[in-house]
Each structure stands twice: as C-alpha cells, then as structure tokens.
Amino acid sequence: MQRVLLDVDTGIDDALAIAYAVRSSALEVIGITTTFGNVSVDNATQNTLHVLEQLDAADIPVAKGEAAPLFHPLFKSYPSEIHGEVGLGLWSASEPASKPVSTPAGAFIVEQIKRYPNQLTLICVGPLTNLATAIMQAPEITSLVHQIIIMGGAVKVAGNRQMHAEANIYSDPEAAQFVFQSGAPITLVGLDVTMQTELNSEDVRRWREQDTPLATFLADVTEYYINGYKKLYPDREGCALHDPLAVAVAIDPSLVEIQPMVLQVDLEGVHSYGRTVADLRERCTAPPNVNVCVGVEAKRFQEHFHRTIME
Ligand code: RIB
Ligand code: CA
C-alpha cells in the first residue's frame, strides 16, 4: 500500500477525495492536514473530522493548518454557493467527537515525511500554504518526499476563480510559486484535466439507492455541489471531480498523460495574478520543474472512483 498524507480545505470535493483515499485498498492514509480555502481552517478541520467519522476512520490523525495566505490578506468571501456556509453543503455539523492533534499542519507534514523517508506521497487539494510552511521549516523534505500531487492551476485552459487563475493557486499564489520552485517532485492535476471529469445527478441517485449512512451523506453534499455548479456552468451536466482526480493519480498514474514543463506562478499581473504560466517554447532550455497533467481517461477514472467508494 502507498502511504499518503492529504492536505485539504474540506469543501465538498475534498470530502469525496478523502472518502476515495480512505476506501482505496491501494492507499494508507497516514494523516490529513487542513487549511483555509473553500472555508475557514476551523470549518475545514471540523468538516474533515466529521467526514472521517462518517467513514469509520476517526483514528486517522488530523492536524490543523494555516488560517490565511503567506502574504496577502485572506479573501473575505468563501465560495459558499459551491460548498455551502460550513463547507459541506447544507450539512450543519454537530461537534465531531474527535479532535485534531496538537501539532500544527506544517510541522506535521515535516514529521511524517521524516518518519517515512522516500515513501510518503503528499496529495494537496487546497491552497499550498501548509506545504510552503513545511518546506520553509525543513527544506530537506523536498528530497525526502516520494512525490507531491497537487490539485491546482490551469495551464492551457481558463481559470475558475479568476479569468486565468484556479482557486487553490489563487488563494495563495506566493506559496504556490515557492512550492513549484522548491525542487520537490511535483505532479500538477489542474483544470486542464479535472474539468474533463464529471459526477452527475444519476450518480447521486445511485448513492441514494444504496441507502447507507455514508452513501446518503455523499449524496446530500454532492447534490448541493452539483446545484452550485449549475449556476456557474449552466451547460454542464454535473460537477467536476477536482480533488478525487488528484487521489486517482496516486492510485493509478496511467489514468493521466503527463508533460514535464517549466512552470511559474504570476505574482504581479493585474489580470493574471495567480495564473500558472508554462514556458511552452520549443527553444526553452530551462529544466522542467513540474509534471503537468495534460490528458485524462475520465470515464475509466469515474468508474474506478464509484467502484472504490462503494466497495
Ligand atoms: O479549483 C478547484 C479546487 O478549489 C478544489 O480543490 C476545490 O475543493 C477548491 O479548493
Ligand atoms: Ca479542495
């Protein structure tokens, strides 16, 4: 089994990614760190603890992370139309029984990478503030981590949070640029591939037919997510499985086509702040720093996702 540590801003697709990773027989989730992003870090932490309880996996340690980006002020508005006020649709949590560990997320990431040298895969599906903090604390982890899979960015497609910027990167562009230039082994699962995936109302109906507490929970939160997507993407049948696809890349990298690229994050553009910019020139001689996913077998991924969740 591949040991993985998830870094999440639980929201709804984060919840689906956590369920997918925990239910996968190919992965051992050794811990989860939380960050601001879709919601506040407090809500992301409570939501993550709740999702783990729904999965009977409350023994997995959760470490609370950063509440705001490295430099710029926190964006005041959270995407509640997509993830709901608390971050799990209309679900309003009763206090989860379990609590986070006392170790902050950055230190927890360093600790776990050193505990499992060259064996741990980080799967980051929120802003990269925790990971940047961890690398600042212990730069050596970039050569001790097995691989880092990041859901984020939009290289050859439009952004979602801004014209050109994807939400996770845009939430902390400086952190993302620091991580991308750190020398760590990074695979980027951006909107270029995640927007080709879909979970629709037929999938939700099948979960409702299962009629188990987990299936009902997933159906409830996903229904909210799909309705939010309909407002932003009226021509789409359902929602995109952004975060679950990052987990899938850890389980089966053959699901995606990778192109090594020289990648930067724009930190100064008036209209392009937070954009992931690749040097695609033939004559580019700089060494690639990120493996960018440029293609995906969406149907095969979606089938594996549903089979794994409901095993
Ligand atoms: O752009 C999609 C990403 O932003 C996903 O990780 C979603 O959960 C939000 O964090
Ligand atoms: Ca996320």
* 3 state SS for 102-155: CCCHHHHHHHHHHHCCCCEEEEECCCCHHHHHHHHHCCCHHHHCCEEEEECCCC
Q: Name the pLDDT band for 4 (thresholds 50, 70, 90).
A: very high
CA triple 276-32-172, angle to 5 deg: 25
Q: What is the pTM of this model?
A: 0.97
172 lines ligand 1 (CB under 6 A): no
For 58, how many CA atoms within 13 A lie in the half-sphere containing its CB? Answer: 11
Active site residue 59: no
- The residue from 9, 13, 192, 243 that is catalytic is 9
Using DSSP's 3-state secondary structure scheme, residue 237 falls into: coil
For tokens 């709804």, the residue is 12
pLDDT at 74: 79
For tokens 């937070």, the residue is 274
Side chain identity, residue 303: E
The dihedral through the CA atoms of 157, 19, 253, 204 has a sign that is negative
- The residue from 50, 164, 242, 304 that is catalytic is 242
- Phi, psi angles (nearest 5°) of residue 276: -90, 115
User: Among 22-31, 78-87, 137-146, which is the least confidently predicted range?
Assistant: 78-87
Nearest atom (ligand 1) to Cα of 151 = 6
For tokens 């902390």, the residue is 172
pLDDT at 93: 66
What's the gap in Å between 79 CA and the centre of ligand 1? 10
pLDDT at 38 over 70: yes
pLDDT at 267 over 70: yes
Active site residue 242: yes
Q: Which DSSP helix (H) or strand (E) runs through 30?
A: strand 27-34
Q: How many residues does the chain have?
A: 311
Side chain identity, residue 217: F
What's the gap in Å between 242 CA and the centre of ligand 1? 6
pLDDT at 91 over 90: no
Task: Write out the residues surrounding ion ligand 2, Cβ under 5 A.
Answer: 9, 14, 125-126, 243
